[in-house]
A and B are shown apart, each in its own frame.
Chain A
C-alpha cells in the first residue's frame, strides 16, 4: 500500500492521469495476497492497453516483487505486451480447426489490406494484427476477433467490408 503511494507521489504529473490512479487502486487491492502478479498485470493492461516500463516499475514496487520477475512474467505470457497497440487488435485464430478451414488465406488477406505483418500496427494506428490461439468457436472456423467482436465462417472476400466498418466508425467519431 505504502509502496504504491510512493510510486505515484514522486511522479506528480502522472498522479493527475486517472489511469495511474486506477493502477494504484488495483495494486492496493492485491498487495500482500499470494499469486497477485498475474491478475494485476491483466488489469493494468486493461487500463493502459499495454504495460509500459513505468507501469511495470509501479507494479514491482507496489507488490514488492523484483522488477526482473515482473519482466520475466510479461515476456513469458504471450498475452502481455510492453509495446503500444493499435486501437483495435485483430486476432486471427490459428487453431487447428481454423487452419484446416483456410485461416492462412484470411490472414494473408488481412496482411495485404492493412499493409502490415503479424504483430504490426497499421499506419493510422487503428489496427494491430495478431494471430491467436483457439478461441473456442471452432464450429464457425475460420474465426477472427476484432476487439470484442467475433467473426466466423470467414472468407478472404469478407475482410474488406469488415475492416471498412471500423474505419467508417472512426471517421464518424472524428467528424
Chain B
C-alpha cells in the first residue's frame, strides 16, 4: 500500500457540493500534479464535516489543519505554501470572530473540540464510497461479532441495557422495540429505516447516509438478525438524491464483499436491503404512513394498535427505526452497553446530533452528550448570534415542537427536560432566532407548513389547522380581532385531542409554545396593531432617525421607489406614501439610521 505524507479531506457533503467543492477539489488535484507531489498527498472526498456554512472546506492531516471558504484559486497557494514548503496559509484559516486570531487546527476549534461523536464517528472522516475505509475503522466488526458470538436475545439485551432511545422523535426505548418485533409471531418480518427526515432544518440523517452509509446498513443487518428478518427497506425522501446515490453504491459494495445478501460471513444468516424513495409528503415520516407508502399507496396514517412491530409492511411484523438510531448500534455492540450508558443523563443515554441553523454564527451539525445545555450548544459551539444581536428563541422539534427562550438557556438538552418546558427533542433540528424574529410570524410559518402537509384524513386536523392559519395570517396583516388569541387556544386544544396521528396532535404546539412565552407579542398584534420585532410588513413603517442620519445619500441610491429625499449632509426623510417597505435602504445605511417600527 502506498504511504502518503499528507491526507487532504475534501468535504463533499450536500452543503459543500452546493458551494461548489468539486471545483476546489479539481483545482487541488491539478496543482498537486503541477507541483509533482500527487504521489505524496492523498485527496479524499468525505461526507459532511459539520461546518457547512464554511464550505468549500478541506482538512489536512496528520495535523488537522482546517481551511475554509475556498475558491479554486486558493488551491495553488495551499499546495505551494503548505504542502510543498510546510507553511500554513493563514489567510484561509477559520476565525471565531472577524478581528480574532485565526485557529489552524480542528482540535482547537470550539466547534469540534466540544463534540462527542458516536453516530457521526465516520461522517466527514472517511470516503463514503470506499467500503475499505469503513472496514478500516471497525466497520462490519459488530456484525461479525453478533453473527459469530451472540444470540438474538443477547443482542436485544445489549441494546436494552445501553438505554438507547429512538432518535427520530418520540424517544421510545430501542431495545424494547426490538424485543416486540422479535417476539411478534410470524416467519416473515421486515426491518425498516426511516430516512424521511421531515423536520425542515434538520439534516443529520442526510449527512449520515451520505457520509457513512455502511453504518446504517450494518446496523440494519444486526437488527435483521436480532428480530429474525431477511429483508430491509430504507425509506429516503426524494429531496436527497445524493444520499440515494451513495447508499446504492454502498449496498452494492456490501453485497460484493458478502456482507449483505445470502449467507453473510458464511453463516446461514441472509439479509438484503432495498431503497424506497418518498415523493414529498411530510406525513410519510409518521411510521404507519411510511409503511403504507412502502406498499406503494397513499401515505395516510392508520390507527395504532396494531403497532408496526405486530402488523407493519405488507401486514408483517416490522421494526422501524430512525437513521441516527441505527448509527448508534454498532458502537454499542463493540464497546458494550455499559460504555454507552455512561454517556449522557440518567434517562437519556448517549449523545444527540443537533442541526443548528438560522441566526447563528456556526451553522452545522454537532453531536454532544445528552444533557449538554442549550447555552453551550448555541454560544460555545455555535459561536453565538451574528452581528452582535440578542438571542430570542430556539425552536426544537420542528413543526411539532416548541420554542426555548433566554430563561431556558441553561436547560439540560435531554428528552424529559425539553418536554417539561413545552418543547421536545424531536429529531434534533435547532433553529436559532435573533431579536428581529416575530414569534407570531414564526407560528404562522409552522401552521402554514402543517396545514399544507395534513393528509386530510381527519377533519380536526384538516379544517382546524386551516382555521388557525387564517387567524395567524390575519394577525400578521394587522387585521387581528379581539378574542383571536382565545380562539387559537380553543382550536389548538380540539386539534390536539381529536387528531389521529402525531402530525395533527402536535401541529398546534408551535402556537401554544409561542403563546406561552411571548403572549405580549400576540397581544401587541391584536390590540395595538403593532409588531414589536418589526417584521410584519403590514404593521411597520420605515423611518430615518434624524439624529443618526449623516445625510450621506447612500439610501437614496438603493431605493427602488425614489421614496427618500434630503440634502447632502442633512437628515434625509422617507415618504411613507411611496415606500414599499423593501428594506433595501436599511441594509445600506452605514450609520444604522433607518429603523422600522
Q: Which residues of A contact B (CB under 8 A)?
A: 34-39, 41-42, 69, 72-73, 76-80, 94-101, 105, 132-141, 143, 148, 150-153
Known: A76-B300, A135-B240, A141-B363. 16 other contacts (CB 8 A): A39-B277, A41-B279, A42-B279, A69-B297, A76-B299, A76-B455, A77-B281, A95-B201, A96-B446, A97-B201, A100-B359, A136-B239, A137-B15, A139-B51, A139-B53, A148-B241
Q: Contact between B279 and A136 (Cβ–Cβ < 8 Å)? A: no
A138 in complex: contacting residue of B203, B240, B241, B276, CB < 8 Å: B203
Chain A hits for B122, CB < 8 A: none
Q: Is the CB of A140 within 8 A of B19?
A: yes
Q: Mark B432-464, 1 if CB is under 8 A from A, else 0.
A: 010001000010011001000001000000000
B-side contacts of A137, CB under 8 Å? 14-15, 18, 52, 203
B200 near A42: Cβ-Cβ < 8 Å = no
CB-CB under 8 A from A105, the residues of chain B are 583
- Inter-subunit contact A100/B431 (CB<8 Å): yes
Q: Enumerate chain A residues within 8 angstroms of B278, measured Cβ to Cβ.
A: 77
Provide the residues of chain B in CB contact with A77, threshold 8 Å. 278-281, 298-299
Partner of A39, one of B19, B206, B276, B437: B276
Residue of B with least CB distance to A144: B18
B239–A38 CB distance below 8 A: no
Q: Decide if B156 is an interface residue (CB 8 Å cutoff).
A: no
A34 touches B18 (CB 8 A): no
Check B363–A138 contact: CB distance below 8 A: yes
A73 near B445: Cβ-Cβ < 8 Å = no
Q: Are B296 and A34 in contact (CB under 8 A)?
A: yes
In the complex, the answer to whether A133 meets B200 with C-beta atoms within 8 Å is yes
* Least distance between A46 CB and chain B CB atoms (Å): 11
Q: Mark B525-538, 1 if CB is under 8 A from A, else 0.
A: 00000000000000
Q: Residue among B55, B200, B278, B314 with the most chain A CB within 10 A?
A: B200
Looking at the assembled complex, report how far the CB atom of A95 sits from the nearest CB atom of chain B, in whole angstroms. 3
Name the distance in Å between A31's Cβ and chain B's nearest Cβ. 13
Min CB distance A36 to B, Å, is 6
* Complex CA–CA separation, A140 to B300 (angstroms): 32
* A95 to B355 CA separation, bound complex (whole angstroms): 13
Q: Which one of B52, B201, B399 has the greatest number of beta carbons of chain A within 10 Å?
A: B201
Cβ–Cβ < 8 Å partners of A151 in chain B: 18
CB distance from A66 to the nearest CB of B (A): 12
Q: Which of B14, B298, B359 contacts A76 (CB under 8 A)?
A: B298
Q: Does B17 contact A (CB under 8 A)?
A: yes
B contact residues around A73 at 8 Å (CB):
296-298
Cα distance, A38 to B298, chains bound together (Å): 9
For A35, the chain B residues whose CB sits under 8 A away are 276, 294-296, 314
In the assembled complex, B293 has its CB within 8 A of some CB on chain A: yes
Instruction: Given A73-B296, A80-B279, verify A135-B15 contact (CB < 8 Å).
Output: no
B124 at the interface (CB under 8 A from A): no
In angstroms, Cα B276 to Cα A96, docked, is: 26
- Which of B15, B294, B446 is close to A139, meaning CB atoms less than 8 Å apart? B15
Using a CB–CB cutoff of 8 Å, the interface residues on chain B facing chain A are 14-15, 17-19, 51-53, 55, 197-203, 206-207, 237-241, 276-282, 293-300, 314, 355, 357-359, 363-364, 395, 398-399, 429, 431, 433, 437, 442, 445-446, 449, 455, 583
Expressed in whole angstroms, the Cα–Cα distance for A134 and B453 within the complex equals 13
User: Is B279 a contact partner of A79 (Cβ separation < 8 A)?
Assistant: yes
A132 to B200: give the CA distance in the assembly, Å: 10
Pairwise interchain contact A134-B279, C-beta atoms closer than 8 A: no
Complex Cα distance, B202 from A139, in Å, reads 10
Contact B296 A96 (CB under 8 A): no
Does the CB pair B433–A34 fall under 8 Å?
no
Taking CB atoms, residues of chain A closer than 8 Å to B15 are 137, 139-140, 152
A97: which B residues are within 8 A, CB to CB? Answer: 200-201, 357-358, 363, 431
Within the complex, the shortest CB–CB distance from A32 to chain B, in Å, comes to 13
* A51–chain B nearest beta-carbon distance, Å: 11
Report whether B14 and A136 are in contact in the complex, using a CB–CB cutoff of 8 Å: yes
For A94, the chain B residues whose CB sits under 8 A away are 200, 449
- With A38-B293, A96-B398 as contacts: A139 and B363 at CB distance below 8 Å: yes
In the bound complex, do residue A140 and residue B52 qualify as a contact, i.e. CB atoms below 8 Å apart? yes
Residue on B nearest A152 in the bound complex, by CB: B18
CB neighbours of A38 from chain B (8 A): 276-277, 279, 293, 296
CB of A72, distance to nearest CB on chain B (Å): 5
**Contact, CB under 8 Å: A79 / B280:** yes
Complexed CA–CA distance, A95 and B448 (Å): 11
Bound-complex Cα distance A94 to B173 (A)? 33
Given the known inter-chain contacts A76-B298, A77-B279, please indicate yes or no for A134 contacting B200, CB distance below 8 A.
yes
